A and B are shown apart, each in its own frame.
Chain A
Amino acid sequence: MEQVYLAIVLAPLLAAIVVGLGGSRMARAWAHRLTIAGVGISFALSLVVARDVFVLGAPVFDGAVYTWLVSDGLRLEIGFLIDSLSAVMMTVVTFVSLMVHIYTIGYMKDDPGYARFFSYISLFTFGMLMLVMANNFLQLFFGWEAVGLVSYLLIGFWFKRPTAIAANLKAFLVNRVGDLGLLLGIAAIFMYTGSLAYSEVFAAAPALVGQTTHVIGDYHWQVTTLICILLFIGAMGKSAQVPLHVWLPDSMEGPTPISALIHAATMVTAGIFLVARTSPLFELSVTALTFVLVIGAVTALFMGLLGLVQNDIKRVVAYSTLSQLGYMTVALGVSAYAAGMFHLFTHAFFKALLFLAAGSVIIAMHHVQDMRQMGGLRKYMPITYWTCLIGALALIGFPGFSGFYSKDAIIEAVSLSGIPGAGLAWWAVLLGVFITALYTFRMIFMVFHGQPRMDEHTREHLQESPWVVTLPLVLLAVPSIFIGALTMGPMLFGGLFDDAISVLPQHDVLAMLAAKGYTDAWSFLIHGLQAPAVWLAAAGVLVAWVCYVWQPHLPGVFARVLAPVYRVLDRKYWFDELYLKLFAPAGRGLGRVFWQFGDVRLIDGFLVNGTARAVGRLAGVARRAQTGFLYHYALVMITALALLMGWLLFLR
Chain B
Amino acid sequence: MLTDLPLLSLIIWLPILGGVAVFALGESRVAWGHRLALLVSLLAAVLGGMLYAGFDNSTAAMQFVERTAWIEAFDAWYYLGIDGIALPLILLTVLVTPLVVIAAAQSVRLRASQYLAAFLIMEGIMIGVFAARDALLFYVFWEAMLIPMFLIIGLWGGPNRVYATIKFFLFTFFGSVLMLVALIYLYRQAGTFDLHTLQQLPLGLTEQLWIFMAFFAAFAVKIPMWPVHTWLPDAHVEAPTGGSVILAAIMLKLGGYGFIRLSLPITPDAAMALDWLMVGLSLIAIVYIGFVALAQSDMKKLIAYSSIAHMGFATLGFFIPFMIVAGGETTGARMAVEGGMVQMISHGFVSAALFFCVGVLYDRMHSRQIGDYGGVANTMPVFAAFMVLFAMANAGLPGTSGFVGEFMVILASFRANIWIALLAGTTLVLGAAYTLWLVKRVLYGEVANERVAALHDLSRREFAILGALAVAVLGIGLWPAPLVDMMSVSVSALLDQVLVGKL
- Mask, B380-406, CB within 8 Å of A = 1, is 010000001000100001110001100
Tell me which of A201-209, A302-310, A443-451, A590-598 binds B: A590-598
Q: Can you offer 12 A-B residue contacts whose CB atoms are under 8 A?
A: A24-B381, A69-B404, A70-B481, A156-B444, A179-B428, A184-B410, A190-B414, A587-B291, A587-B433, A588-B295, A598-B288, A608-B230
Say yes or no: A191 contacts B415, CB within 8 Å: yes
Task: Output the least CB separation between A334 and chain B (Å).
Answer: 29
* Cα(A169)–Cα(B440), bound, Å: 8
Say yes or no: A173 contacts B433, CB within 8 Å: yes
Given that A172-B436, A173-B429, A177-B429 are known contacts, is A594 also in contact with B295, CB under 8 Å in the complex? yes
* Cα(A608)–Cα(B233), bound, Å: 14
* Cα(A213)–Cα(B404), bound, Å: 27
Tell me which of A142-150, A412-420, A511-519, A534-542 binds B: A142-150
Tell whether B190 is near chain A: CB-to-CB under 8 Å. no
SS class of chain B's interface: helix, strand, loop or mixed?
helix
Tell me which of A157-165, A312-320, A484-492 binds B: A157-165
Given that A159-B377, A591-B292 are known contacts, is A72 also in contact with B331, CB under 8 Å in the complex? yes
Given that A156-B444, A592-B295 are known contacts, is A69 also in contact with B484, CB under 8 Å in the complex? yes
* Cα(A73)–Cα(B492), bound, Å: 12
**3 shortest interchain CB distances as A-B pairs:** A591-B295, A187-B414, A591-B294
Given that A72-B335, A180-B425, A599-B230 are known contacts, is A594 also in contact with B288, CB under 8 Å in the complex? yes
Which residues of A are found within 8 Å of B414, using beta-carbon distances? 184, 187-188, 190-191
Tell whether A376 is near chain B: CB-to-CB under 8 Å. no
Tell whether A68 is near chain B: CB-to-CB under 8 Å. yes
Say yes or no: B428 contacts A176, CB within 8 Å: yes
Tell whether A215 is near chain B: CB-to-CB under 8 Å. yes
* Cα(A149)–Cα(B418), bound, Å: 27
Tell whether A357 is near chain B: CB-to-CB under 8 Å. no
Given that A159-B445, A176-B432, A599-B292 are known contacts, is A604 also in contact with B422, CB under 8 Å in the complex? no
Task: Output the least CB separation between A67 and chain B (Å).
Answer: 6
Task: Output the least CB separation between A211 and chain B (Å).
Answer: 14
Say yes or no: A159 contacts B444, CB within 8 Å: yes
Interface size class of A (residues with CB under 8 A): 35 or more
Tell whether B334 is near chain A: CB-to-CB under 8 Å. yes
- Mask, A213-233, CB within 8 Å of B = 1, is 101000000000000000000
Tell whether B243 is near chain A: CB-to-CB under 8 Å. no
The listed residue (A24, A69, A184, A588) touching B421 by CB distance below 8 A is A184
Given that A188-B414, A191-B415, A595-B292 are known contacts, is A159 also in contact with B443, CB under 8 Å in the complex? yes
Which residues of B are found within 8 Å of A559, using beta-carbon distances? none
* Cα(A166)–Cα(B437), bound, Å: 9
Tell whether A603 is near chain B: CB-to-CB under 8 Å. yes
Our count of residue pairs bridging A and B at CB distance below 8 angstroms stands at 140
Task: Output the least CB separation between B273 and chain A (Å).
Answer: 24
Q: Which residue of A lies closest to B433 (CB)?
A: A173
Which residues of B are found within 8 Å of A592, using beta-carbon distances? 295
Say yes or no: A183 contacts B428, CB within 8 Å: yes
Which residues of A are found within 8 Å of B294, using beta-carbon distances? 587-588, 590-591
Which residues of A are found within 8 Å of B426, using beta-carbon distances? 180
Tell whether B59 is near chain A: CB-to-CB under 8 Å. no
Say yes or no: A165 contacts B445, CB within 8 Å: yes
- Mask, B416-457, CB within 8 Å of A = 1, is 001001100110110011001100100111100000000000
Tell whether B488 is near chain A: CB-to-CB under 8 Å. yes
Tell whether B227 is near chain A: CB-to-CB under 8 Å. yes
Which residues of B are found within 8 Å of A375, using beta-carbon distances? none
Tell whether A186 is near chain B: CB-to-CB under 8 Å. yes
Interface size class of B (residues with CB under 8 A): 35 or more
Given that A162-B445, A595-B295, A599-B230 are known contacts, is A142 also in contact with B398, CB under 8 Å in the complex? yes
Tell whether B202 is near chain A: CB-to-CB under 8 Å. no
Say yes or no: A215 contacts B418, CB within 8 Å: yes
Tell whether A74 is near chain B: CB-to-CB under 8 Å. yes
Say yes or no: A165 contacts B444, CB within 8 Å: yes
Q: Which residue of B lies closest to A144 (CB)?
A: B398
Tell whether B497 is near chain A: CB-to-CB under 8 Å. no
Given that A183-B425, A608-B167 are known contacts, is A71 also in contact with B291, CB under 8 Å in the complex? no
- Mask, A262-293, CB within 8 Å of B = 1, is 00000000000000000000000000000000
Task: Output the least CB separation between B255 and chain A (Å).
Answer: 18
* Cα(A179)–Cα(B167), bound, Å: 39
Tell whether A631 is near chain B: CB-to-CB under 8 Å. no
Tell whether A629 is near chain B: CB-to-CB under 8 Å. no
Q: Which residue of B lies closest to A148 (CB)?
A: B397
* Cα(A24)–Cα(B418), bound, Å: 48
Tell whether A198 is near chain B: CB-to-CB under 8 Å. no
The listed residue (B404, B421, B437) touching A169 by CB distance below 8 A is B437
Given that A184-B418, A608-B167 are known contacts, is A149 also in contact with B481, CB under 8 Å in the complex? no
Which residues of A are found within 8 Å of B418, using beta-carbon distances? 184, 188, 213, 215
* Cα(A514)–Cα(B47), bound, Å: 71
Which residues of A are found within 8 Å of B369, using beta-carbon distances? none
Which residues of B are found within 8 Å of A650, using beta-carbon distances? none
Say yes or no: B433 contacts A71, CB within 8 Å: no
Which residues of A are found within 8 Å of B446, using beta-carbon distances? 160
Tell whether B378 is near chain A: CB-to-CB under 8 Å. yes
Which residues of A are found within 8 Å of B411, using beta-carbon distances? 74, 186-187, 190
Task: Output the least CB separation between A606 and chain B (Å).
Answer: 11
The listed residue (A162, A187, A590, A604) touching B230 by CB distance below 8 A is A604
Say yes or no: B335 contacts A70, CB within 8 Å: no
Which residues of A are found within 8 Å of B154, using beta-carbon distances? none
Which residues of B are found within 8 Å of A594, using beta-carbon distances? 288, 291-292, 295
Which residues of A are found within 8 Å of B107, using beta-carbon distances? none
Tell whether A141 is near chain B: CB-to-CB under 8 Å. yes
* Cα(A187)–Cα(B429), bound, Å: 17
Which residues of B are found within 8 Å of A603, using beta-carbon distances? 227, 230
